[in-house]
Amino acid sequence: MSNTDFALAIEDLTVSFDGFKAIDTLTLYIDKNELRVIIGPNGAGKTTLLDLICGKTAASAGSIKFKNTELTRMAEHQRVRLGIGRKFQTPSIYENLSVFQNLEVSYPAGRSVFGALGFKCTDEVKARVQVVAEDVGLAEKLDTEAGLLSHGQKQWLEIGMLLMQDPELLMLDEPIAGMSARERDLTAELLQRICKNRAVIVIEHDMEFVKKIAHKVTVMHQGKILAEGPMEQVQADPKVIDVYLGH
Ligand code: ADP
Ligand code: MG
């Protein structure tokens, strides 16, 4: 398979912090339209891996190719423009704006045919807001002030804000932390909807949730990949039980 067949091709990726390799010669391929879950003990390097992909942290060595374009020397905003969206653990929504306005301001300037003239085509933006609001289950909440949403709804809004850019790769770091059981179920459905036309990487600890959403699971440990495959295979792997699932 050539690298163009993958949404993301990471090869021999390494990052050192004062000699400590948080990511150590890691190789990982994500298919187009795949929903990959990354699990592993605290400190395994999961968040650092997302930092390297989105450009928050610079790689020390190795390659990250997205749509066959090398990312490692590219600035963070250029990676966003190429189609990479990243959700951090703490939500960053505008609490005083409505759900509609939060989504509207996230529509990428310059994407619209009128973008170059400095204003947005209202109908185009409105249509996109509607589609995204339905995808994230907030279509009934468009006029609600974001600050009044539940914790789970705020998380969905932030996912919606990323979807406004129609990213081809979406990365979510522990998206269900602090959610109720009902919100977790709805998030699983949401992720299944939005991975239809993009690759999604999710870091998560909740094994019931992982089982529901993962196409494939990658287990990280000490900056390396310990195991990778379908959930049942990974769960039955003695190495994985030893360093992670057994605790
Ligand atoms: P995980 O998300 O799997 O819990 P992290 O990626 O947050 O793990 O961290 C992996 C390791 O890298 C940890 O030992 C952490 O302390 C270290 N680390 C992460 N970022 C930095 C940084 N900017 N400087 C120094 N050490 C870091
Ligand atoms: Mg982390």
pLDDT on residue 124: 87
pLDDT on residue 92: 85
Q: Return the CA Rg of the chain.
A: 18
Half-sphere exposure of 203 (CA within 13 A, CB side): 21
pLDDT on residue 2: 56
Dihedral (CA of 71, 73, 74, 76) sign: positive
Mutate to test the pocket of ligand 1, among 17, 171, 174, 225 (most ligand atoms within 8 A of CB): 17
The pTM is what?
Answer: 0.93
Task: Collect the ranges in the chain with pLDDT lower than 50.
Answer: 112, 115-118
Ligand 1 pocket check for 218: Cβ under 6 Å = no
Task: Give pLDDT tens digits for 173-185.
Answer: 999 999 999 999 9
Neighbours of 178 (CB within 10 A): 11
pLDDT on residue 122: 82
pLDDT on residue 121: 63
Task: Give pLDDT tens digits for 105-139.
Answer: 999 876 545 544 445 568 889 999 999 999 999 99
DSSP 88-139: -SS----TTSBHHHHHHHTSPTTTSTTGGGTS--HHHHHHHHHHHHHHTT-G
Of 228, 225, 224, which is closest to residue 215 (Cα–Cα)?
228
Ligand 1 pocket check for 17: Cβ under 6 Å = yes
User: In whole angstroms, what is the distance from residue 21 CA to residue 102 CA?
Assistant: 38
For residue 221 the two structure tokens come to: 């440990």
Which residue in this structure is represented by tokens 């440990």?
A: 221
- Name residues with Cβ closer than 5 Å to ligand 2, which is an ion: 46-47
pLDDT on residue 110: 60
Ligand 1 pocket check for 42: Cβ under 6 Å = yes
Dist. CA 122 → ligand 2 center (Å): 38
